[in-house]
Chain A
Amino acid sequence: MATETFWEDREVRFDISVAHLKMRPGEKLVDRLDAIEDTKGNNGDRGRLLVTNLRLIWHSQTMPRINLSIGFSCVLNISTKVAMSKLRGNTEALYVLTKSGNTRFEFIFTNLIPGSPRLFTTVIAVHRAYDTSKIYRELKLRSALIHNKELRLLPQEQRYNKINGVWNLSSDQGNLGTFFITNVRLVWYANMNETFNVSIPYLQMKSVRARDSKFGLAMVVESSERSGGYVLGFRLDPVEKLHEVVKEIQSLHKVYSACPIFGVEFEVEENLPAVDLLTVEPVQDDVEIESGLEQSDAFAAYFADGDKELDRDPEFNRELGLAVEKLKDGFTLSGLWEVVQ
């Protein structure tokens, strides 16, 4: 399903195939910088950085198969520091700290054109725009969505419909509430309690259908695994109305899954050439590794935290009175600390 293959902003990938480098629907190119060095992994190599509304893409100019794709959702922190570049010497560089899965990666990019702050400004601005527009893309429960019985609309959002008398079937007695259907999401809230609400962007909908339940025929919305895999049941009377609403939501889901509104707003300073002109020219290397999703070992260079794959579980430690990562057999906390001291 379309939503499940949607990974661009949520993962850090290395040396991906040309097909994956292409923009997905709804993804837009914000800026293209031609002389950027990946100071950490490919020091001394001139490359191109593409900033989209979902991710950063860097690829080597000489060998496009050497590339990085960094989803903005993985980014923990962006800062500028001085780094040592083979092409520029000591220079201010962009540090991007990310966490993909349980691994932290650190990336350092250096602009090879001296005195140009464009690298820093664009990346930081777009990441900020991404970070502040999460509600477009994430399922929200019990958040401050409703004010005075009205939905607080997002900047790019349009309200299509408001349906009263929708029962949420999450508790035994049910809660009477209201639907808001917009171009971005479906929102329900309880008439009695504004803080009891749910906001499901179409991006996070796995399916919408009418189904039988112990409460009778109900509309069931399933959310994606990533958002928690919730199953939400709603009942509307009469049944015709229910079918009508289901149909409306289904069609909106279809349309907006194909061309989602990510909500990442930015101003493009220059007129950039059309996207297809910018995508990586499929220069064929001597050997093209078509490994699909399989990752190469290029990521080793970017580890921020060492190759620690998985943190061990926390447990309560009496010695400190705090939660501590389970110790390896034969180690004690004080022993470890004394070694350090």
Chain B
Amino acid sequence: MSLFKAREWWSTKAGVDEEFDTGCLCVGDIDNRGTGDKIIIGSYHGYLRIYEPHPTKTEDGWTGFQAQDVLCEMQLPLPILQVEAGLFVSGSDSVHLAILHPRKLSVYSLLASSGAVSYGAHYQLKLVYEHNLQRTAFNFCYGPFGGVKGRDFLCVQSMDGTLTVFEQESFSFTRFLPGALLPGPVTYIARTDSFVTVSSSRQVECYKYQVLAVASETKTKEESQNIKTGKRVAVDWTFGLGEEAIQIMMTTFPQTPPSIYILGERNIFVLTEGGKLRMMQKFEFSPSCFLPYTSVSEGSINCLVATHSSSLMVYSDMTLKWAAQLSNIPIQLKVARINNLDGVIVTLDEHGQLSCCYLGTDPAMFTVPSSEVREIDYKKLDQEMKHLQEIIKKDANKYSVMPSLSKSDDDISIHVSVPFNLDEHSRAAEVEIEEEDPIPSITVKIQLKCKIHVNNVRVNINVELPLVASTNTIKFSSLEPGHPGEAMVVFYMKHTMLPTDLKGWATVVYENTTGAPRVLQADIRLPIRLVVKPCFPVKNANFRITIDTNKPPVNLNDLFPDLLGENAGGAGNALGFRYYGLAPVITVLASKTSQRYRLQSDEFEFMWLVLNELVTRLSSYFASHKQVDFKVSYTGDLPLQEYFVIIERHFECRLTDDNLYKLLADRAAQFRAIQRRLLTRFKDKTPAPLINLDTLIDGTYRQLIAMGDAVEQNTQVKHQMAVRLSAATRLLNLLIRLWQDMSEEEAAVLEATLTPDITESISKGWEETVDASITHLLRTSLSKSAKDQTVNPSPLTLLKDTSKLKKHITLLCDRLGRGAHLVPEGSAGEAARHGETARKAKSAIDSTHTDLGVPLGSKFGEKKNRHRHEGGDLGALRVPTDNKLPPLGGSTGDMEIRKHHTRKDIPDLDELGTDSQRHLVNGSELAGM
């Protein structure tokens, strides 16, 4: 918005519902009376109008448009594309009017007969000559082509980019412009006698008139205009603009270098006659038209630019000298001498609004005064205000900032029912296990009950391989309180792989009525029968594990009634199991006399699931027989050597992996190097022998493929090994727990340290993670003296060998065996546990504090039944520390909100004992890294 406005001196609306565009406006002394410029406009609707504005000053300002200002109005039968005034008639030095119609070029003269009064004068347009055009015209330019004196020739550009030249009354020639697709603006340069246009390839092209003219073969006018082919015309010069041009103008003002002005869509370019860039300027607005109009000082050219935001800029060369607001968007600009005033700006917009303006010099500082306020009833307004404030107050109390997170607030509850029996007919599909018997499956019913109507509920089912679920995601578009959502999910073993975990999760994700996302989770405990089948027990095996109990032995037939198979009816002191698709047999032996049970198998890690099942079943067996003090213990040596073998095997896989990748990178580099050499050879203009490079590249390529296959294969082996390692770790953890009679809490710490989660990534592997965690434990809770308690984390990189890890694991078992505790004794309560946490993971606690500052809203999506935070998010630790520590710079208000939140979190935490323990260790792990 400009501060200055263009002042309208004279204006009129030409025509009704008529359209105008570039070319439709021209000014000139068309009646040759020497009374200044007349304004000529032609519309696409065929109306030609000639105006001679006579604004006269009266008491109330300028008169503006008057009826007599129209010199002539005429409707021509064809649309008018362009009007120009020039010396178009031979033997006459008076100005004539050339009008371009789509298929016709006409030249008229305006004859004036003066009257006694100005409104008595009358004007007549007389056709002097016309040329019919064979091609649809686009625009035309004129000038003294070929250096002719005192005459203007015409050059019409057609829609297909041919130029047709008329030497006034006679046709001269028609020429194709090479590569023309769509026509652009065109102008004539008198000094170099050439035409400049901007082609559809967005470059300025200049053609010499002589070159165009010489290429002609004389034919009759009709024939020649009708050409379909033509000689290629050589372009004089080109200049790449990179955008479409709106207008081209040639300036030849005295004492300024002749310049070609080109208005692009975003830039203005000024070229020399030779096609070199003199100046250019990028606009921050979108220009609609322009006009280089004069030179006021030596060497500089003034130019008007109108924009689509209806403003008018005045540039001197590339310096902005003035800007004014217009009342419309002009499609063409002219500067004219009207009514004895020089420098009047004539604008025409596309609807035919024709204005003669001058630049206003009063800045528009005016702001609209605010309207007077009438009769405000203050009493009534006060009452309304009070009423509204009451409503606000009431509602403000109702809602707390935190949405309540208590369980009862959940709109949905999830129920998972796992049937006792497997499916009668297995529903397992696409099983990859080779086995005689069909692989069993189990159908689990998942039920969603809701209190209110909920939309878009999603249930995700997760289970660990080799088990799979028939579906991973269940969607309910809407749930009604009366109609619980139900889904049947089939679980079965799919891959030939050692199962390590029989647990699955069903996760419900939905949005509650306030739009907050909510998450619910339920465990799915699948029966061991899904992965294990009974077989004959084996006498001898490589590995044995013996566990003790404090109760008389139970008949195994009673313990595993569902897994007897061929052993049914046996004595019940030996049972054999086998995983589907895997050969090793796990034999369970129950001692008849002592209170011992033994497991034996050819593979160490295979015993994990069965042992776990045995311990679980024993516990539940005695629990159901009302014997409370039942205890399982392990007294033998920990099978560390067996465990280390598995670690070693897994680690070897990783090392191989690493080596393979290095080799692969090597070969790839080699391949690229050969490629490069070959390429330079092929590019060389003089052919040179390939010196067996082709053989080399072929060989390298084959090597690459082989390496890729090896990596692929090794990855599979590594995956198998990871599963075995996971099972072995679980087994070891279980044994340590039984050995030391650990509390749940301690077991969780152990589980988190010697983690069975074998996550493999390029940057981080199981060995270094576990090594770091054990080192941390050894230096903190298991340290012998305060001296050891320095926490000095080492970077997580691939270990050189596993000896250090093995040493650390041995040391861990050793310390545990000597009575050390992972959780300090007598710290059964939460407070102590967290006290220790605070000591162990100082940095973690710090992060807990900062966590207090996190907006409460960020916890909307917190999982409730199960917190599985990763890394530094010690969400579960937050609550107790909250209670103990003063707020960090928080106001009392903050405090209240936090307490509020705390109270809501507590019930959840109780359920989460084990999990929070896990975080604790995760935290210490972090600190140790």
Contacts and interface: CB of A to CB of B under 8 A. Distances in A.
Interface stretch (A2-10, A87-95, A275-283, A315-323): A315-323
Residue among A142, A170, A310 with most chain B CB within 10 A: A142
A88 to B, nearest CB: 16
B342 A316 contact: yes
B715 to A, nearest CB: 62
A315 B343 CA distance: 9
B119 A316 contact: no
7 contacts: A141-B70, A142-B70, A195-B123, A314-B9, A320-B343, A325-B359, A340-B3
Contacts of B342: 316, 323
B75 A147 contact: yes
A58 B122 CA distance: 45
A324 B371 contact: no
A19 to B, nearest CB: 24
Interface stretch (B133-141, B362-370, B699-707): B362-370
Nearest to A102: B61
B358 interface: yes
Interface string A161-190: 000000011111001000000000000001
A325 B294 contact: no
A186 to B, nearest CB: 14
Interface stretch (B108-116, B505-513, B785-793): B108-116
Interface in A177-208: 190, 193, 195-196, 198
Nearest to A152: B75
A128 to B, nearest CB: 9
Given A171-B115, A228-B66, A303 B368 contact: yes
Interface stretch (A36-44, A114-122, A244-252, A285-293): A36-44
Contacts of A320: 296, 302, 314, 321-322, 343, 359
A262 to B, nearest CB: 15
B120 A171 contact: yes
Contacts of B359: 317, 320, 322-325
B360 interface: yes
Interface in B324-373: 327, 335, 341-345, 357-366, 368-369, 371
Contact of A318 (B47, B296, B304, B327): B296
Given A228-B67, A321-B294, A76 B345 contact: no
B825 interface: no
A170 B486 CA distance: 100
Contacts of A169: 116
Nearest to A175: B122
Contacts of B371: 40-43, 301
Contacts of B9: 314, 323
Interface in A297-341: 300-301, 303, 305-308, 310-328, 331, 333-334, 336-337, 340
A72 B360 CA distance: 26
A193 B74 CA distance: 11
Interface in B185-205: none
B7 A196 contact: no
B647 to A, nearest CB: 70
A131 interface: yes
B270 interface: no
B497 to A, nearest CB: 64
Nearest to B356: A323
Nearest to A200: B67
A171, A172, A326 interface centre (most CB from chain B within 10 Å): A171
A322 B360 contact: no
Given A141-B70, A228-B67, A305-B366, A170 B120 contact: yes
Contacts of B72: 142, 195
Interface in A209-227: 227
Nearest to A231: B117
Interface of A: 40-43, 45, 76-77, 101-102, 131-132, 134, 138-144, 147, 168-172, 175, 190, 193, 195-196, 198, 227-228, 230, 232, 300-301, 303, 305-308, 310-328, 331, 333-334, 336-337, 340
B293 interface: yes
Contacts of B662: none
Contacts of A326: 361
A169 B343 CA distance: 37
B683 interface: no
Given A322-B359, A325-B359, A333-B322, A314 B294 contact: no
A306 B364 contact: yes
B119 A230 contact: yes
Output the residue of A301, A307, A322, A328 with the most chain B CB within 10 A.
A322
A170 B71 CA distance: 15
A171 B74 contact: no
A101 B58 CA distance: 12
Given A170-B117, A311-B360, A323-B344, A76 B327 contact: yes
Residue among A43, A144, A171 with the highest chain B CB neighbour number at 10 A: A144
A322 B358 contact: yes
B17 interface: yes
Given A316-B342, A337-B321, 5 more contacts: A42-B371, A144-B47, A195-B73, A195-B74, A323-B345
B374 interface: yes
B116 A170 contact: yes
B125 interface: yes
B583 interface: no
A325 B60 contact: no
B16 A314 contact: no
A228 B68 contact: yes
B13 A131 contact: yes
B518 interface: no
Contacts of B360: 311, 325
A322 B345 contact: yes
A230 B361 contact: no
Contact of A323 (B57, B61, B341, B369): B341
> Which of B3, B117, B122 has the largest number of chain A CB atoms within 10 A?
B122
Given A101-B61, A102-B60, A196-B122, A307 B366 contact: yes
Contacts of B302: 320-321
B17 A195 contact: no
A325 B358 contact: yes
Contact of A321 (B71, B116, B293): B293
Per CB-CB distance, the 4 closest pairs between chain A and chain B, nearest first, are A170-B120, A306-B366, A196-B122, A323-B358
Interface in B84-137: 113-117, 119-125
A89 to B, nearest CB: 16
A43 B295 CA distance: 51
A325 B361 contact: yes
Nearest to B295: A321
B314 A142 contact: no
Contacts of B4: 340
Nearest to A170: B120
B730 interface: no
Contact of A142 (B123, B358, B361, B362): B123
Contact of A325 (B7, B13, B67, B122): B7
Residue of B62, B342, B365 contacting most chain A CB atoms (<10 Å): B342
A249 to B, nearest CB: 19
A333 B361 contact: yes
Contacts of A140: 67, 70
Nearest to B111: A193
Given A41-B371, A171-B114, A322 B335 contact: yes
B533 interface: no
Contacts of B3: 340
B122 A195 contact: yes
Nearest to A339: B363
B208 interface: no
A313 B296 contact: no
Nearest to B364: A306
A144 B113 contact: no
B116 A311 contact: no
B5 interface: yes
Contacts of B364: 305-306
B51 to A, nearest CB: 10
Nearest to A106: B368
